[in-house]
Amino acid sequence: MSLPRHQDPIVAIATAPGRGAVGIVRISGRGLTAISQALCARGLKPREATYTPFLDADGVAIDQGLALFFPGPNSFTGEDVLELQAHGGPVVLQLLLSRCLQAAAQSGPDSLPLLPHLRVALPGEFSERAFLNNKLDLAQAEAIADLIDASTEAAARSATRSLSGAFSQEIHHLRDALIHLRMLVEATLDFPEEEIDFLRKADAHGQLSNLQQSLDSVLGRARQGALLREGIKVVIAGQPNAGKSSLLNALAGAELAIVTAIPGTTRDKVQQTIQIEGVPLHVIDTAGLRDGVDEVEQIGIARAWEAITQADAVLFLHDLTRCDAPEYRADDAHIAEVMAGKLSKSVPIIHVWNKADAVTLAHVGEGLLLSAKNGSGLDVLRARLLQLAGWQSATEGVFIARARHVQALHAVQMHLQAAQMYLDIHSQALDLLAEELRLAQNALCVITGEFTSDDLLGVIFSSFCIGK
């Protein structure tokens, strides 16, 4: 799996762009002692912070800060790692980065470069080195990026749980149970003349059933983790002046969208991410759906329909103060008809009747009553959105997960179901049973990176920060 570039030493600024109290330049590779001597003019004790000047080629201090040296394999990447912690100005850090590259190219006592082939790291390359050197598995490496990107407290805690190995341990337990079951099946295939029924005496049916139950539990928590990471996209749609922008503002708790009594005020999408019980909801306010009065509004309406077709859930907002007007009801019915034709049946449409504060009595049948103005009914709407998203209130034991993890677990589930079918007919299909168990194990190993491709690694780590 290792590529030629994985042998190069790498360097990068490991802190976020901009100014800060502290900035870090990190180097990873083999044999960093000589370059640390060139930069700090002194030897560094392993895993001990040393306050020292960082010197340019003429021996003049660029800055003063802390230098830390972690000899491999006892480091994050598994290679030698040198960290220079300086003041966090972008100019200072760029000077240090340039000095590292310059020092690596200068000749040492043997007339060879101190650190040949040192280059600036690619996005996520430090974490990729850690994975390739077995310091963490692929699920843990992904959890690093997820922890950085976490938009809610629940997502951060779940990412920490995955980073600590909780998700990987679940996968390893499933893998070990699969390997044991495969061993029994392979033994039966290898010794067909034996009278002993290995599978019956070892309770292969019971083992497979327990495996499927454990998988269902892991899959359920992975779905919750994926929801914490990705959230759901909720689009507010309806006729002009139904209160869509007011509802967005009420859900967000801030005046994000302009609200007026003039129809067509909202001309483009307005998006805000909110959280409900730690689940991120990407709420999108759209232009009122009607025959556009002018070209600009027509563009806004076209974008509204585009957002609707990409939604995970749609809030179809109705105006209670106009619900008895025949023309208004006819326009709502036309929107509903068009919406049904554009949306997948799996996308829920929640009918929301707004302006409950402006009417004395309302009976609307299907849908939720609320007032975006005074907030009544918002809690019911939030609970309904979580229900539709598939969220369960108890987050204990939930680990952060990605769509690819859920897809892999679904593949395992499919192979185990096929294995159950072949096990039921026993001797006539033992070879097919063995193959389904093998495929299930491979699907599991894709999650932790034990069975993966360089292309997948490239996609995953390219989304990381440079220096991480």
Q: State yes or no: 333 annotated in a binding site.
A: no
Q: State yes or no: 354 annotated in a binding site.
A: yes
Pairing of strands 50-55, 349-354: unpaired
Other C-beta atoms closer than 10 Å to the C-beta of 20 total: 14
Q: How far apart are CA 231 and CA 234, in angstroms?
A: 10
Other C-beta atoms closer than 10 Å to the C-beta of 341 total: 7
Q: How far apart are CA 258 and CA 241, in angstroms?
A: 12
What are the start-end ranges of the H helices in 286-325? 295-309
* Contact indicator for 114, 35 with CB cutoff of 8 Å: yes
Q: State yes or no: 246 annotated in a binding site.
A: yes
Q: State yes or no: 26 annotated in a binding site.
A: yes
Q: State yes or no: 344 annotated in a binding site.
A: no
Residue 342, φ and ψ in degrees, nearest 5: -90, -25
Q: State yes or no: 269 annotated in a binding site.
A: no
Q: Which residue has the tokens 């987050």?
A: 395
* Contact indicator for 123, 461 with CB cutoff of 8 Å: yes
Q: State yes or no: 357 annotated in a binding site.
A: yes
Q: State yes or no: 360 annotated in a binding site.
A: no
**CA dihedral over 249, 252, 257, 263, signed as positive or negative:** negative
Q: State yes or no: 5 annotated in a binding site.
A: no
Length of the chain: 468
CA 386 to chain centre: 19
The DSSP letter of residue 195 is S
Q: How distant, in Å, are the alpha carbons of 89, 130, 196 from that of 191?
A: 70, 43, 9
- Token couple for 12: 């990068």
Q: How far apart are CA 409 and CA 419, in angstroms?
A: 15
Q: State yes or no: 260 annotated in a binding site.
A: yes
Q: State yes or no: 262 annotated in a binding site.
A: yes
Q: State yes or no: 242 annotated in a binding site.
A: yes
- Token couple for 31: 């044999």
Residue 290, φ and ψ in degrees, nearest 5: -165, 180
Q: Which residue has the tokens 């660029």?
A: 62
Q: How far apart are CA 83 and CA 14, in angstroms?
A: 9
* Contact indicator for 275, 230 with CB cutoff of 8 Å: no
- Token couple for 202: 């070892």
**Residue 219: which region, alpha, beta or left (left: phi > 0; alpha: psi -120 to 50)?**
alpha
Q: Which helix (H) or strand (E) holds 53?
A: strand 50-55
Q: State yes or no: 243 annotated in a binding site.
A: yes
Residue 305, φ and ψ in degrees, nearest 5: -65, -35
Q: How far apart are CA 141 and CA 133, in angstroms?
A: 12
Q: State yes or no: 286 annotated in a binding site.
A: yes
- Token couple for 228: 């914490």
Residue numbers belonging to the annotated binding site for Mg(2+):
245, 266
Residue numbers belonging to the annotated binding site for GTP:
241-246, 260-266, 285-288, 354-357
Residue numbers belonging to the annotated binding site for (6S)-5-formyl-5,6,7,8-tetrahydrofolate:
26, 83, 135, 468
Residue numbers belonging to the annotated binding site:
26, 83, 135, 241-246, 260-266, 285-288, 354-357, 468
Residue numbers belonging to the annotated binding site for K(+):
241, 260, 262, 265
